[in-house]
Structure 1
Amino acid sequence: MRYFLGIDTSNYTTSLALCDEGGQVCKNVRLPLPVKDGQLGLRQSDACFLHAKNFSLLQQELMADLSAGEISAIGVSARPRDIEGSYMPCFLVGEGLANVFGKLLCRPVYRVAHQQGHIMAALYGAGAMPLLEAPFLAFHLSGGTTEAVLVTPDDTRILKTSQVAGSLDLKAGQAVDRVGGMLGLPFPAGKQLDALACQSRARFHIKPVLKGFDCCLSGVQNQCQKMVDQGAPAEDVARYCIEYICAALDGMTARLLQHYGDLPVVYAGGVMSNSLIAAAMGEKYGGYFAPADFSADNAAGVALLARRAHAGRRDTEGENVYA
């Protein structure tokens, strides 16, 4: 059996994954980067150092019972998004490791965007891989990104994405973590805020701030701080935050579908593992959501993209493909 190695070094998670030539994810291991209590993030220099420490542990787990010669190709997240100028130092750690593996094993290295890996992982986790054959819309909501892209088939077999909408200020994941910080929740606050919001019986009628296809999310932080100052129950503050993000996502989805037609919609990224958002958007739009393991930062999508890119190259060269 041949395998494809995926490497992802996001701002808060070190991830390694393997998929086989049949397109099944065999291993998907990761370690979060530790953030000190009371802090809402990491400096890039600290993140790079922590990734280097994590790799020594993860590679032992990943390569157990696997010989290096069984790896056909390597995929790595080399930048946050597939646009010119997209850059974040922490991705250099993973790219450097991929380059070393590629040289030592004499295997090709396929560089992709972190966002493309998220979308691919969501497709796999949701059992929606056939969507790759035609255009679809994909939302990516995380700590550093809140945007929608139009995904179209590409000859390289790596996802071709074009941004069509986004947040003009605060990102959804930032809002979740900042509100979580107000409520004394540990960073990252996604799981705890979700659980807290589910305890609330309050319901809010929120009119999102939309400008064209884009949204503005800074209002959620201000309103939640006001609620905290007025002594509102923590679960109601959490519920308001989630419903605010959901209202913005709802408005953006509706406008994009009106403009682009009845395309499938995929929701990717750590924020999209929120149970309330997934239930609301899934019921209204029939969108595709992945389980939490494939929503949060992981290297599974990167490994799958390496497989597709390698198959495309072999197809061009007239060899057998893994299609």
Structure 2
Amino acid sequence: MKKVLLGIDTSNYRTSLCLAGEDGEIVAEAKRLLRVKPGKRGLQQSEAVFQHVMNLPELSDQLRLNDWEVAAVCASEKPRPVDDSYMPVFKVGEGLAKSLAVFLGVPCYLTSHQEGHIAAGEFTARKRPAADRFLAVHLSGGTSEILDCERVSTGYRIHKIGGSIDLHAGQLVDRIGVALGLPFPAGPELERLAQQAEGTFRVASVVDGLQFSFSGPEAALLRAAGQRTVLSAEIARATEQCLCNTLEKALRNAVEAGWSREILIVGGVAANQYIRKRLIKRLEHPAIGAELFFCDPAYSGDNAYGVAQLGWLQHKTRTLNC
């Protein structure tokens, strides 16, 4: 039987399980978006926890664990790799990981959701940053951060150097999308809607050094949506355009301040093709000289593949030290 490691991620948006081999091959995976009622902009933690508890037995059965040699289990235990980072949903996956490890008689490793996104980005990108130290940008419904990221034997050493001071990029997309009548999470539908736009409507971006704000743009976009004087497609494109301009300015400031020119962009918002193409065009211009790396769109959203890869790194480090 092939030796695999089980990765588990129970975020506020998706239940995810992944079996990955030592070579990085995904041998089996099962994931499910959490259900959000129409018109709502997210879930309370208690409801998300309940849905994870209900999803995990069925998703676990889909993996057919008896067909593989499970070497270890790894789960994301918290949102970010800092001491005060906590969210109840991740305790569901952590509890399952620890229980399975006991029953299977294998090690259990823990990591963070953010590190899982970065690992998924690195292991699915067409090309990885050449240097061990690079910039990572994490854009999702719960995080919009610019990170000084350094590879270490068990994962990453991360230091936040910038990001949003209020709303996150994914929150902006979802709030505008729901206001336009789109389902939550709104990212894919907003991107499709924006393709019909001519780009006649824009809102200002707010950037101060490496920090930025989305509350002002949100107010302008919601006002336009409420007044119905601007086509929905134009509002959707203006949302994308605001995100692009904000990130471009902040990352230009980072490069000019001496941070790495190699920039890995991960998280659900990074799946947007308009945003990808726009940032590549602007930031890889010779005048700036950055090099951008993107996760495979299929793994930009919440997933357990990066968690499994980090588990392998921890497992191999432990084996070497034994």
TM-score range, shorter chain: over 0.9
Aligned-pair identity (%): 36
**Alpha-carbon separation, structure 1, partners of 2:203 and 2:233:** 17
Query: Is this contact kept in 2: 1:21–1:307, CA < 8 A?
Result: yes
Partner of residue 288, structure 1: 293
Partner of residue 176, structure 2: 179
Paired residues for 1:16-27 under 5 Å? 16-27=17-28
Deviates most, 83-92 or 58-67? 58-67
Per the TM alignment, residue 206 of structure 1 is displaced from its structure 2 partner at its CA by 5.6
Partner of residue 276, structure 2: 278
Partner of residue 288, structure 2: none
Partner of residue 47, structure 2: 46
Partner of residue 321, structure 2: 316
Which amino acid in the other structure matches residue 84 of structure 2?
A: G
CA RMSD of aligned residues (A): 1.6
Query: Is this contact kept in 1: 2:140–2:169, CA < 8 A?
Result: yes
Partner of residue 224, structure 1: 221
Per the TM alignment, residue 292 of structure 1 is displaced from its structure 2 partner at its CA by 2.0
Distance 1:169 1:53, change over 3 A: same
Per the TM alignment, residue 75 of structure 1 is displaced from its structure 2 partner at its CA by 1.1
Distance 1:4 1:203, change over 3 A: farther
Partner of residue 33, structure 1: 34
Partner of residue 253, structure 2: 255
Which amino acid in the other structure matches residue 225 of structure 1?
A: L
Partner of residue 137, structure 1: 135
Partner secondary structure for residue 74 of structure 2: strand
Query: Is this contact kept in 2: 1:204–1:243, CA < 8 A?
Result: no
**Alpha-carbon separation, structure 2, partners of 1:279 and 1:15:** 28
Query: Is this contact kept in 2: 1:135–1:263, CA < 8 A?
Result: no
Partner of residue 103, structure 1: 102
Partner secondary structure for residue 35 of structure 2: coil
Per the TM alignment, residue 263 of structure 1 is displaced from its structure 2 partner at its CA by 2.9
Confirm whether residue 159 of structure 1 aligns to residue 119 of structure 2: no
Unaligned runs of 5+ in 1: 318-323
Per the TM alignment, residue 226 of structure 1 is displaced from its structure 2 partner at its CA by 2.1
Paired residues for 1:48-127 under 5 Å? 48-63=49-64, 66-67=67-68, 70-127=69-126
After superposition, the C-alpha distances for 1:241-283 in whole angstroms (9 at most, x for unaligned) are 1111111111111111122344310010000101110111123
Confirm whether residue 188 of structure 1 aligns to residue 189 of structure 2: no
Query: Is this contact kept in 1: 2:118–2:136, CA < 8 A?
Result: yes
Which amino acid in the other structure matches residue 233 of structure 2?
A: E
Deviates most, 198-207 or 215-224? 198-207
Query: Is this contact kept in 1: 2:128–2:293, CA < 8 A?
Result: no
**Alpha-carbon separation, structure 1, partners of 2:129 and 2:174:** 34
Deviates most, 214-223 or 122-131? 122-131
Partner of residue 268, structure 1: 266
Partner of residue 243, structure 2: 245
Unaligned runs of 5+ in 2: 284-290
Partner secondary structure for residue 67 of structure 2: coil
Partner secondary structure for residue 260 of structure 1: coil
After superposition, the C-alpha distances for 1:222-246 in whole angstroms (9 at most, x for unaligned) are 1112222142100000011111111
Partner of residue 286, structure 2: none
Partner of residue 302, structure 1: 307
TM-score normalised according to structure 2 size: 0.93
Deviates most, 195-204 or 102-111? 195-204
Which amino acid in the other structure matches residue 235 of structure 2?
A: V
Deviates most, 100-109 or 168-177? 100-109
**Alpha-carbon separation, structure 1, partners of 2:315 and 2:133:** 21
Per the TM alignment, residue 161 of structure 1 is displaced from its structure 2 partner at its CA by 1.0
Partner secondary structure for residue 159 of structure 1: strand
Aligned pair count?
A: 313
Per the TM alignment, residue 25 of structure 1 is displaced from its structure 2 partner at its CA by 2.2
Which amino acid in the other structure matches residue 181 of structure 1?
A: V
Query: Is this contact kept in 2: 1:206–1:247, CA < 8 A?
Result: no
Distance 1:255 1:206, change over 3 A: farther
**Alpha-carbon separation, structure 1, partners of 2:276 and 2:98:** 37
After superposition, the C-alpha distances for 1:33-61 in whole angstroms (9 at most, x for unaligned) are 11111111111111111001111111111
**Alpha-carbon separation, structure 2, partners of 1:207 and 1:181:** 21
Partner secondary structure for residue 287 of structure 1: strand
Partner secondary structure for residue 22 of structure 1: coil
